[in-house]
Amino acid sequence: MYRPPSFQLSHLPCLPTTHSITLPKIATCCRTNGRLYVKFGLSIVSLAAIVPAQYNEELKYLQVDAERMTNKQAEEAMRKGLGEEWEERFS
């Protein structure tokens, strides 16, 4: 039977180092892989009450730097996902 490791206060000193290593990797992954990953990064930012402040500072730029979608691209995505008559569903 699996038993999760117990939390020990002695592990806390390594957290800042862990965050400083992990955070740039998460940010790069989100920027490199595009829209869905940007949404993931922004969802981390929305957890400001429980996520270290450095995450919010780094990942908030995902919203500013997000790749823009043209109206034509959005319509094509809607057509692909909902079918040719997608506009009728919202009228």
- Cβ neighbors of 55 (< 8 A, separation 6 or more) are 19, 23, 26, 44, 45
Residues, the chain: 91
Q: What is the maximum span of the chain, computed from C-alpha positions, in angstroms?
A: 60
- Whether residue 9 has pLDDT greater than 70: no
pLDDT of residue 72: 92
Q: What is the pLDDT of residues 30-76, one digit of tens each?
A: 888 887 888 888 888 888 888 888 888 888 888 777 777 889 998 89
What's the DSSP call for residue 70?
-
- Whether residue 8 has pLDDT greater than 70: no
CA pair distance 15, 83, nearest whole angstrom: 48
- Whether residue 85 has pLDDT greater than 80: yes
Q: How far is CA 8 from CA 2, 14, 18, in A?
A: 18, 12, 16
